[in-house]
Structure 1
Amino acid sequence: MLDNLRVVLVRTKYPENIGMAARACANMGCSDLVLVDPLNLDLDKALPLATAHARHILESVRVTHGLAAALADAHVVFGTTARTGGWRKSLVPPVEAGRMAAAELVKGKRVALVFGSEDKGLENEEIQMCGQLVTIPTAREMSSLNLAQAVLVLLYECFRQSQPAGHAAHDQVAERHATHAEQEALMANIQETLSAIDFLKPQNPDYWLLPVRRFFAKLDLRRSEFNMLMGICRQVRWIAGKAGKNTPDKNRQGES
């Protein structure tokens, strides 16, 4: 039921948490577990916590360097955070994240759930890569969850709200969705274009671009629309250049 769902653990410190997260994946029918730069990858310590039921998940776990590599072929990305404010705005609760993820999964999209390290969570640069941010409500006195507990809560909501397998098929073959890598290329192009027309503040443009990122994360962006937006950005930069702006047009991957 959650075949297209991926759990991504970033800079995990304790192999036991990897094992418990793998067990949570097995409980909810998710077999795609990716580790980003784990600080201590010891499968001998992880296996007892995973139990025999999740052994196959640990044995097939993929390790990447950097979060972008783990998300390159994903279409929709949910990041998790216990902190709020600043870079962490427009947070959704697990029940809403589960509903949104289930709606994307039934379309055949690949959805990624991203969890940060046990002590520091996700960095601001990693938060930028996530189209939606999820926070799990807790008692005010104890806002930090164990990593594997957080994984289980999010997977449960995705599992609970997923459509039955028989409803997941498309009536027609649809145009493919823009991947995360393509969306990141588009965001870089939009940032350069908005800077060229003085729409973005020169101080900390990544921060001021966040509302634009959140807006695009709500769209069901297709490849043809990605190409169209890339072309619009290129044309706007060309016009800005004619007006005296220094905006060299750069070839971008995936632009046609």
Structure 2
Amino acid sequence: MSGTNRSITFESGQGPIVVLVEPQLGENIGMAARAMANFGLTEMRLVAPRDGWPSEKARATSSGALHIVDAAQVFDDVTAALHDVTLAFATTARERGQMKRVLSPQESMREAVAEFSAGGRVAILFGRERSGLDNDEISLCDAITTFPVNPAFASLNIAQAVLLTGYEWFRTAHGEALPFAGEIRSPRAPRAMAASFFDYLEEELDRVEFFPPDKRPSMMRNLRDVFLRRDLTEQDVRTLRGAMRALILRRRRDEAQGRDEAPAPDEA
């Protein structure tokens, strides 16, 4: 729940109706509702849920998407659930041999956006946990939508299928802008600042005899490359220099303490 911000009001507008056909477990209904809420979908319809409705298990697993669970409508069959729908997609992971268009989620959600623009209503059908949608139910839909998944393990949990479809809907309807951006608060370090740091690093590495004499130039070039490959900012250089200074001062204190504690020559 770390990404939930109840102070934000998001106007999702129209979105496809999610129709779950004979869902077996209340937990899966709740998780599907959560996936819907992630991407601004608000209307859920249930066709003959096995364990009846309402379901406390669905409410418990919705992770706060109670507005979807509590408003869900229940229907006896798919035909009734689609009574006011003008465009319907059936989700399936299996080829059915039906004379039906097969679309990717991206393609189907582009059609959904166009249908809403024309004043229509759109639904996406998701089948039973064990067997999915049957061919008669698929025949009631305009097209099939399926996902590019591992063909040897193509079965998706209902909530996973809703999540993937919801993502494509949100991306198509609302754009691909990310909810927040990384901010570089420090300007890129001037070359003189970086050079000063490298001189400091080189001097201290010489002090501890880090470089083999024959490899010193190439190793120092490699060290410069390591740092400059990531576009050092001023803050980066200050942090690196401060960390090195702390290590160096600690080493020098330890060395001085060792000399103070060493016995005088006439005491040895």
Q: Does the alignment reach a TM-score above 0.5?
A: yes
RMSD (Å), alpha carbons: 1.6
Give 2:118's match in structure 1, choosing from 107, 120, 124. 107
**Does the aligned pair in 1 maintain the 2:100–2:142 contact within 8 Å?**
no
Give 1:92's match in structure 2, choosing from 100, 103, 106. 103
Counterpart residue number, 2:55: 43
1:179-232: CA deviation from partner (whole Å, max 9, x where unpaired): xxxxxxxxxxxxxxxxxxxxxxxxxxxxxxxxxxxxxxxxxxxxxxxxxxxxxx
TM (normalized to structure 2)?
0.58
Percent identity over the alignment is: 42
Deviation at 1:3, TM superposition (A): 2.4
1:119-166: CA deviation from partner (whole Å, max 9, x where unpaired): 1111111111000111111112211011110011111111111158xx
In structure 1, runs of 5+ residues without a counterpart are 165-256
Instruction: Kindly report which structure 2 residues correspond to 1:74-223, keeping only aligned pairs within 5 A, or say none.
Output: 74-87=85-98, 89-162=100-173
**Aligned partner letter, 1:30:** L
**Aligned partner letter, 1:7:** V
**Does the aligned pair in 2 maintain the 1:115–1:121 contact within 8 Å?**
yes
Give the match's secondary structure for 2:153.
coil
**Aligned partner letter, 1:129:** L
Is 1:73 matched up with 2:84? yes
Deviation at 1:107, TM superposition (A): 2.6
Larger radius of gyration: 2
Distance 1:11 1:88, change over 3 A: farther
Counterpart residue number, 1:241: none
Paired residues, number: 163
**Aligned partner letter, 1:121:** G
Q: What CA distance in whole angstroms lies between the structure 1 residues aligned with 2:167 and 2:113?
A: 11
Counterpart residue number, 1:3: 14
Q: What CA distance in whole angstroms lies between the structure 1 residues aligned with 2:174 and 2:66?
A: 27
Counterpart residue number, 1:25: 36
Counterpart residue number, 1:192: none
1:62-118: CA deviation from partner (whole Å, max 9, x where unpaired): 000000111010110011111104227431111111111122123331100011101
Counterpart residue number, 1:15: 26
**Aligned partner letter, 1:146:** N
Give the match's secondary structure for 1:8.
strand
Q: What CA distance in whole angstroms lies between the structure 1 residues aligned with 2:172 and 2:117?
A: 10
TM (normalized to structure 1)?
0.60
Deviation at 1:40, TM superposition (A): 1.8
Deviation at 1:2, TM superposition (A): 4.7
Counterpart residue number, 1:243: none
Q: What CA distance in whole angstroms lies between the structure 2 residues aligned with 1:43 and 1:98?
A: 30
Q: What CA distance in whole angstroms lies between the structure 2 residues aligned with 1:104 and 1:159?
A: 15
**Does the aligned pair in 2 maintain the 1:21–1:151 contact within 8 Å?**
yes
In structure 2, runs of 5+ residues without a counterpart are 1-11, 176-268
Q: What CA distance in whole angstroms lies between the structure 2 residues aligned with 1:48 and 1:129?
A: 32
**Aligned partner letter, 1:154:** T
Q: What CA distance in whole angstroms lies between the structure 2 residues aligned with 1:44 and 1:79?
A: 28
**Does the aligned pair in 2 maintain the 1:79–1:114 contact within 8 Å?**
yes
